[in-house]
Chains A and B, each alone.
Chain A
Amino acid sequence: MNNYQPWEKYHGRIVSSRGGWKIGSGVQNCGYDMMNDLVGKTSYMQVVVLNATGRLPSKAIADWIEAIHICLSWPDPRIWCNRIGALAGSSRTSGVAANCLGVLAAESSSYGIKPLISGVEFIEHAYAQINKGITVENFITEEIKKHGGKPYLMGYARPIAKGDERISAMEVVTEKLGFPIGEHLSLAYKIEAILNTEFDESMNINGYVSAFLADQGFSAVEVYRMFSAVVLSGVTACYADTADRLEGSFAPLKTTDVVYKGTPLRSI
Chain B
Amino acid sequence: MTSSTINSASSSVKSRGDVFANKIETKITDEQSPDHNPYHVNKQLIHGYDHLDLLENCNFADVIYLLLRGNLPSEKDSLLFNKLALALINPGPRHPAAQASITAGVGKSDTVNILPIALGVYGGTFDGAGNIELTMRFLRKAAKKLVVEFEEDALNKKIPSITQHYGDADTYANILLEKLKPYAIEGNVFSWLCQLQTLIYSKNIGVTKTSIAAAVFADLGFQPRQGGALMQLLAAPGLLAHGLEFSNKPVTAMLFEPDETYHIETTNNE
Which residues of chain A have a CB within 8 Å of any CB of chain B? 2-4, 7, 23-24, 26, 78, 80-81, 83-84, 87-88, 90-94, 97-98, 100-101, 104-111, 159-160, 247-248, 250-255, 257-258
Q: Which single residue of chain A is at the shortest CB-CB distance from B122? A: A91
| A–B complex contacts, Cβ < 8 Å, 22 sampled | A4-B39, A78-B257, A84-B100, A91-B96, A91-B124, A91-B125, A91-B126, A94-B123, A101-B121, A104-B109, A104-B120, A105-B103, A105-B107, A105-B109, A105-B117, A108-B108, A159-B251, A248-B96, A251-B99, A253-B99, A258-B93, A258-B94
Interface of A is mostly: loop
Contacting residues, chain B, for A104 (C-beta < 8 A):
104, 109, 113, 116-117, 120
Do B257 and A88 touch across chains, with their CB atoms under 8 A apart?
Answer: no
Contact of B166 with A23 in the complex, beta carbons under 8 Å: no
Known A23-B14, A78-B256, A248-B126: A87·B100 in contact at CB below 8 Å: yes
Residues of B within 8 A of A101 (CB): 100, 116-117, 120-121
Residues of B within 8 A of A (CB): 13-15, 36-39, 93-94, 96-97, 99-100, 103-104, 106-110, 113, 116-117, 120-128, 130, 166, 251, 254-257, 262
Residues of B near A258 (CB, < 8 A) are 93-94
Task: With both chains docked as a complex, state the minimum distance between the C-beta of A259 and any C-beta of chain B, in angstroms.
Answer: 10
User: A108-B107, A110-B108 provided; 15 other pairs, C-beta below 8 A?
Assistant: A4-B37, A24-B15, A78-B257, A83-B100, A83-B103, A91-B97, A97-B120, A101-B100, A104-B117, A105-B109, A107-B109, A251-B99, A252-B94, A253-B94, A255-B94
Query: A-B pairs with CB below 8 Å: how many?
Result: 129
Interface-central residue, B38, B39, B96, B116, by most chain A CB under 10 Å: B96
Let me know if B166 and A252 touch, CB within 8 A: yes
**Most chain B beta-carbon contacts within 10 A, residue among A100, A160, A248, A252:** A248
Chain A residue with Cβ nearest B110: A107
Closest 4 CB pairs of A and B: A91-B124, A80-B107, A93-B124, A110-B108
Tell me the bound Cα distance from A91 to B232 in angstroms. Answer: 14
Docked CA distance A104–B113 (Å):
6
Q: Whole-angstrom distance between the alpha carbons of A107 and B262 in the complex?
A: 26
Are B126 and A92 touching (Cβ within 8 A)?
A: yes
Q: Is the CB of A109 within 8 A of B117?
A: no
Check A80–B106 contact: CB distance below 8 A: yes
Q: How far is the CA of A78 from the CA of B97 in the complex (A)?
A: 16
Q: Which residue of B lies closest to A84 (CB)?
A: B100
Q: A2-B36, A7-B39, A24-B15 are in contact. Are A108 and B110 (CB under 8 A)?
A: yes
Query: Could you tell me if A248 and B166 are in contact, using CB atoms closer than 8 angstroms?
Result: yes
Q: How far is the CB of B235 from chain A (nearest CB, A)?
A: 13
Q: Which residues of B contact A255 (CB under 8 A)?
A: 94
Chain A nearest CB, measured from B144 CB (Å):
29
Among B104, B109, B117, B255, max chain A CB count under 10 A is at: B109
A254 vs B257: C-alpha distance in the bound complex, in angstroms?
A: 16
Nearest CB on A from B259, distance (A): 10
Assuming the A-B contacts A90-B96, A92-B124, A251-B99, are A105 and B113 also in contact, with contact meaning beta carbons closer than 8 angstroms in the complex?
A: yes
Task: Choose among B104, B106, B121 the residue that contacts A91 (Cβ–Cβ < 8 A).
Answer: B121
